[in-house]
Structure formats: structure tokens, C-alpha cells
Amino acid sequence: MGKTLFEKIWSAHVVREMPDGSSLLYIDRHLVHEVTSPQAFEGLRLAGRRVRRPDLTFSTMDHNVPTTVDRLTIADPVSRAQVEALQTNCDDFDIQLYGLGDAHQGIVHVIGPELGQTLPGLTIVCGDSHTSTHGAFGALAFGIGTSEVEHVLVTQTLVQRKPGTFKIDFSGRPGPHVFSKDMVLKMIGLIGTAGGTGYVLEYGGEAVQALSMEARMSICNMSIEAGARAGMIAPDETTIEYITRDERPFAPRGEALDRAMAYWRSLPSDADAVFDRTLTIDTGTIAPQVTWGTNPGMVMDIGQPVPEPDAVPGYSREDVQKALDYMGLVPGTHLTDVDLDVVFIGSCTNSRIEDLRQAAAVLDGRRKADHVDLLVVPGSEQVRRQAEAEGLDRIFKAAGAQWRFAGCSMCLGMNPDQLRPRQRCASTSNRNFEGRQGKDGRTHLVSPEMAAAAAVAGRLVDVRTWLET
């Protein structure tokens, strides 16, 4: 019987099978950021331990950093202490840091691929659930807790139980103005926020094969919102083209690249490989998606009304009512009739150059509604420079947007970019949890194009018909 992409990478990284049925797995890349690492480094110091492979460990500052022009001086003393702690830890343990002010600083899941650290066939971990993003390259990448961060720093391994395999096939092609964000939101709505728990997802099918690397990253990024620690896409010519661009300093070159490519081409799941579960989604039937509730599984087509509390499969009446109360919505409402206060374009889900190009194409020659604050936050400093070289920043500013420096920003509001209570936001981020973007803030997850159109209209619109009129 053939092997899946996941099984090939897993078996190539087993250091030792443990008596209890788990495996000691070797980790090829460890990405570190300021929020989930300080306690791990403190553990190392207390035990007198060293970082085993500083050469495989990379670090950046993203969650806490201000995105305004005065970002280098962090006003919040607690945020500043955390950022300074990472600087000290990287200095003390000899770890490469792309810190605040560095040309490559940015969201950890944006800069890893940009720098060529993210490659097919690798095991990649980070103390961050959206590490699943890197699976877009055909890597096995997953989020870990701080105890596991410490474990990887010291041993370059993790003890893991082998998850199941779940193939998601997106057949056909998406209609106009339907993006990978809509595909993954649709999938989460279908299988639920725990539907992937215990599995590694592999995305395939015609619609996935046709996606750019940026779009693939958006899908894999949100695997965790379906409960799956990892999501993967088989490497192909699109992957190789992305990796072999000139600006990726850590990607292999020359003879090393030839050997790597031969290996990468052996990774896709074999034709006779068997998955534990499979699901086929007809991509052609997917409409632009928008969340109405307080988790990413509470999602619907843009044209649908907000559901009745007892009409949502997989959720109790009590849970739906709590979500509607929090969101300030009543059943039957069309979200296209509800005013927005804020539009956020950014996050590790949708802050790459292609996302910004899509938003800029909608905003070009238009202006945001007066009552809406529009925030555009590039995922990395490299993305920011590229966007400015293409003139996208001028389009955003002319549309009335705030054009910022790189960071996680309003996806989780650990920096000053937060919603105020009861503000309603169309957001390209990944989580519409209660309080996620700011205490009592209300989040509707959408694609970058939908977010840009919403900023102009002042409320959510069906971008397919709105752009035609």
C-alpha cells in the first residue's frame, strides 16, 4: 500500500519509537516569537541547559509590536519587557533574530516562507497554533505549547502520537471573486471546529493545485480552526517556483537544489495511499463566506440571513443564542444591512503580497466609507517594501486607509491595534472568538477582497454583484 505525504515525512523523522506507542520525532526548523518563548528560555536557565541546534532555530517579534511609525519605542512597558526578553534570550543562546527594525521582521508565518526556511519535507514547529501555515509547502508543521518549545530547544525533538490522515479534495474551480479563504471557511463550516481534531489534513484537488503559494498558505493556516494541528499540500512546480526565487536566502541552491528537488518530487501521496477519512467539496458551488458567530465554524454564504438559534447543525440552541447575543445580531438579519466600524486587512492568514494586491484592486479609485476605520497591515517588512514598490500603499492611502508596518496587529490585539467594545469589524484574520480583536469587539471573517469592498460600502456586501454595479 502506498504512503501519504504526511506518512512519508513522519517516517523520515522518527528518531525512536517509544514503548507507549508514541514516537520521538526530529524537528528540522523551530520558529520562535516573543509571547510563547520566555518561560521556555527561563526553564533552560534554571536547569543549566543549552539550545541544542541554534542553527535550526529562528526568531522574530510579531505579536506585541506596534505597527505605527513610532513602533521602535514600545509605549506599553509590559509589551516592551517581553520584546526585550526575546532579544536577550536570542543573544544569550545565539539564535538568529529578525527583531523590530530588521528588514526581515514580520509575522513568523509570513517570514519563514519568504526567507526560504520553510521547505517541503521538513518538520517545522513553533509555539503558535497557526504554524499549520507552513504545510502549504508540503512540510509537516504544527503548533506547540511552551513546555514543548522548551523541549525542542533542548533536544531538537518532540514526543508525538501519530495523528490520523484526512484528505480534503476541492474538486472543480472556484467562481469569480471566490478565494482560498472562502474555501477553507466553507470547509470549517462543513466539518466543524473539532472536525479535524486528531488528524493531519491534506488538501488536494483541481482547485488547490491551481492556487498560488500565498493562497495555499491561507488554507493551511486555518486548518487549526477545524481542530487539525497541521494541514498540508503536496509540493509541485508552483512550490518549487516560489522557493527558487532569488530573494530566499535559506533555500538550497545549485547541486543541493537538484538533490532537494528530486526528494521533493517523491513526496506527494502515492496514488494507492489510503486516508483515514476523506471529504470532497465542490469548489464551484462555494460563495464568498462570512462568519456570523463567535467561532470560525459559525459561517455562511454572504447572501444568507443570520440563522435561527435552533437551525444550526452541530451547535446547541444555547451556544447559538450566546453567539448571537455577543455579536449583537438577531436571526433573519442580512449582514449586508448592518453597518461596520472597522475593516482589518492583515494577519498570518491574509497579509501577503497577493492578499494586498486583491484588496488594492478593489480600493483603487474608491474611498472607504466615512464611518469606517480601515487598517492595512502587511505581514512582513518584505511584503511592505514590495507593496510600496508596486504603489499599493498609495492606493490604500488614497482610499483613506491607515498603511502600517508589519505585525500581528488587530488579529489578536496584543499591541495597541484593538477594537473598542461593540465595534463591528470585517477582518481577513482567522478567529472571530469573543474578545479576540478587543474586549466585546465583534468580528466577521472574510477574504481580502470582501474586506476591501466592505470598507468602501461601510457594510458587508456580496463582492460579486457589488463590483459589477
119 contributes a contact to another protein by CB under 8 A: yes
Q: How far is the CB of 328 from another protein (least distance, A)?
A: 16
236 contributes a contact to another protein by CB under 8 A: no
Q: Is the dihedral of CA 436, 437, 443, 446 positive or negative?
A: negative
CA count, 13 A, side-chain hemisphere, 338: 25
Stretch that binds another protein, among 9-17, 92-100, 172-180, 444-452 (CB under 8 A): 9-17
Stretch that binds another protein, among 126-134, 211-219, 231-239, 391-399 (CB under 8 A): 126-134
Q: Cα angle vertex 241, ends 287, 179, to 5°? A: 5
Looking at residue 195, the DSSP 8-state letter turns out to be: T
Nearer to another protein, 77 or 176 (CB): 77
Confirm if 36 and 146 have CB atoms less than 8 A apart: yes
Chain positions 132 to 161 lying near another protein, rule: CB under 8 A, are: 143-148, 150-151, 154-157, 159, 161
Q: How far is the CB of 143 from another protein (least distance, A)?
A: 4
In sequence order, the 6+-apart residues with CB closer than 8 A to the CB of 170 are 183, 203, 204, 205, 206, 207, 208, 280, 281, 283
Stretch that binds another protein, among 232-240, 299-307, 379-387, 408-416 (CB under 8 A): 408-416
431 contributes a contact to another protein by CB under 8 A: yes
In sequence order, the 6+-apart residues with CB closer than 8 A to the CB of 354 are 212, 214, 215
Following DSSP, what letter does each residue of 434-447 receive, concatenated?
A: TTTTSTT-EEEE--
Chain positions 434 to 463 lying near another protein, rule: CB under 8 A, are: 434-436, 439-440
375 contributes a contact to another protein by CB under 8 A: no
Q: How far is the CB of 91 from another protein (least distance, A)?
A: 15
Question: Contact with another protein (CB under 8 A): which of 11, 39, 278, 465?
Answer: 39
412 contributes a contact to another protein by CB under 8 A: yes
16 contributes a contact to another protein by CB under 8 A: yes
Nearer to another protein, 16 or 173 (CB): 16
By rule CB under 8 A, what count of residues binds another protein? 85
Rounded Cα distance between 377 and 350, Å, is: 10
Q: How far is the CB of 52 from another protein (least distance, A)?
A: 8
114 contributes a contact to another protein by CB under 8 A: no
Chain positions 76 to 95 lying near another protein, rule: CB under 8 A, are: 76, 78-79, 81-82, 85
Rounded Cα distance between 308 and 311, Å, is: 5
Q: Cα angle vertex 278, ends 276, 284, to 5°? A: 165
Nearer to another protein, 7 or 150 (CB): 150
Burial environment of residue 113 by CB neighbours within 10 A (0 to 12, 13 to 18, 19 or more): buried
Rounded Cα distance between 29 and 27, Å, is: 6
Nearer to another protein, 226 or 356 (CB): 226
Q: Which amino acid is at 151?
A: H
252 contributes a contact to another protein by CB under 8 A: yes
Closest CA to 151 of 266, 47, 60: 47
Rounded Cα distance between 202 and 209, Å, is: 12
Q: How far is the CB of 366 from another protein (least distance, A)?
A: 33
Residue 267-286 contact track with another protein, rule CB under 8 A, x = bound: ----------x---------
Confirm if 104 and 98 have CB atoms less than 8 A apart: yes
C-alpha cell at 63: 505579536
Stretch that binds another protein, among 93-101, 238-246, 312-320, 372-380 (CB under 8 A): 312-320
47 contributes a contact to another protein by CB under 8 A: yes
49 contributes a contact to another protein by CB under 8 A: yes
DSSP helix, strand, coil percent of the chain (3-state; round to 5): 35, 20, 45
Looking at residue 310, the DSSP 8-state letter turns out to be: T
Confirm if 288 and 446 have CB atoms less than 8 A apart: yes
7 contributes a contact to another protein by CB under 8 A: no
Largest CA distance in the chain: 66
DSSP helix/strand/coil, 150 = helix
Q: How far is the CB of 467 from another protein (least distance, A)?
A: 33
Nearer to another protein, 21 or 365 (CB): 21
Chain positions 17 to 36 lying near another protein, rule: CB under 8 A, are: 18, 20-22, 24, 26, 28-29, 35-36
Nearer to another protein, 148 or 393 (CB): 148
Question: Contact with another protein (CB under 8 A): which of 54, 309, 314, 400?
Answer: 314
H-run or E-run covering 11: helix 5-11
Alpha helix ranges (H) inside 286-329: 317-327
Residue 167-196 contact track with another protein, rule CB under 8 A, x = bound: ------------------------xxxxx-
Stretch that binds another protein, among 340-348, 353-361, 389-397, 428-436 (CB under 8 A): 428-436
DSSP helix/strand/coil, 185 = helix
